[in-house]
Copies of this chain bind each other. A is one copy, B any other.
Amino acid sequence: MSKKVSMKDIATELGVSVALVSYVLNGKFTNRINVETAEKIRKLAKQHNYRPNQIAKSLKSSKTYTIGLIIADISNLFYSSIAHFIEEEANKQGYNVVFGSAYEDPERFASILDVFIAKQVDGLILAVPEGGEKYLERVKEVSLPFVVLDREFAELDRSMIVNIDNYGASKVVVEHFQQQGFTKTAAIALKTNLKHLQARKEGFMETSSQALGLREPLFYEVLEKDLEQEIERIILHAVQVEKVDSLYFFTNRIAMAGLAVLARFDIAVPEQVAVVCFDEADAYKIFKREITYVQQPLKEMSQMAVQKILNPEIRKLKKIFQTKLIVKESTNQIIDNEKL
């Protein structure tokens, strides 16, 4: 066995910087480093039997180069997209991501939080479930940088939150329906007290009320449990009994279940009902009509979340992201004689 070498030895032998050797052997900035150079460094390190010891290094630098991400469910399209972008930005900055799914359960959230704190992650990005906000105290106690993503809580400073203008997003949806000639809209949402979804609801209720005068806006809430059956019941009622001409699905899970009902019962879109969904999904393209949707700037939000963790200056910024309505066929204006 050759004697133990340092990164400096490897750097000197190859005529490169110690930093570069460190980056390669710690897998940092992997996108930016020449592949051949990286390979040379790894090869020499291997010849010399160099063994990085992250734990020993961590004790010295008191950094683990790990960001903890707690979301509701990694298999939900919305959160797996966020995880994708967070990983991308974290890697750029030389960090890795450890993730946990809390399934909107505050106790589960607290448990994952405890583990990540114990693992001494360098920062936390948290989609805090309803009732989970009290556990943020634990993060504050250990002075870990954190941001709350896709959620908001009154007691949190705006700079700790990475989120969109939910009220404004719904306002734009209602106005778009009106402009296209759809005046009787039903919205379908998850039953929740989460503040950002309340704001989404208020944007819908207030804008609809203003547009419609005295008529009560149609707003339906479903429980996670029996979501599919509930949504089927609601849509059939809204279309057949209430005679709505448009549907606004509040989340991508509701959208997927709702579109499945429209497909199953052969309800013509937009001829019988126009449709707007929240959040982007490739799947919208396989529906019989392409779907109009509210696009959140997930990449920019994810970048901001990571940067807030790592950069104290960016951590101070207060920014509310704006959504964009991507207009497709599902809200096409209907000319009267084409109506079914």
Contacts and interface: CB of A to CB of B under 8 A. Distances in A.
B96 A27 contact: no
Interface residues of A, number: 63
Contact of A74 (B25, B58, B74, B116): B74
Given A263-B286, A286-B287, A100 B108 contact: no
A198 interface: no
Given A74-B87, A100-B87, A283-B281, A118 B288 contact: no
A256 B119 contact: no
A52 interface: yes
Interface stretch (A75-83, A144-152, A181-189, A203-211): A75-83
A310 to B, nearest CB: 17
B25 A114 contact: yes
Interface in A15-41: 24-28, 30, 35, 38
B59 A111 contact: no
Contacts of A260: 282, 285-286
Interface string A51-65: 111111011000010
Interface in A79-127: 80-81, 83-84, 87, 91, 96-101, 107-108, 110-112, 114-116, 118-120
B283 A27 contact: no
A171 interface: no
Contacts of A118: 25-27, 52-54
A74 B66 contact: no
A145 B306 CA distance: 31
A42 interface: yes
A24 to B, nearest CB: 8
A46 B52 CA distance: 35
A266 to B, nearest CB: 8
A64 B98 CA distance: 12
A120 to B, nearest CB: 6
Interface of A: 24-28, 30, 35, 38, 42, 51-56, 58-59, 64, 66, 73-77, 80-81, 83-84, 87, 91, 96-101, 107-108, 110-112, 114-116, 118-120, 142, 256, 259-260, 262-264, 281-288, 290
21 contacts: A27-B111, A30-B107, A30-B112, A42-B110, A51-B142, A53-B118, A55-B64, A74-B74, A74-B87, A75-B84, A76-B80, A80-B80, A87-B100, A87-B101, A96-B100, A96-B116, A256-B282, A256-B283, A256-B286, A262-B286, A263-B288
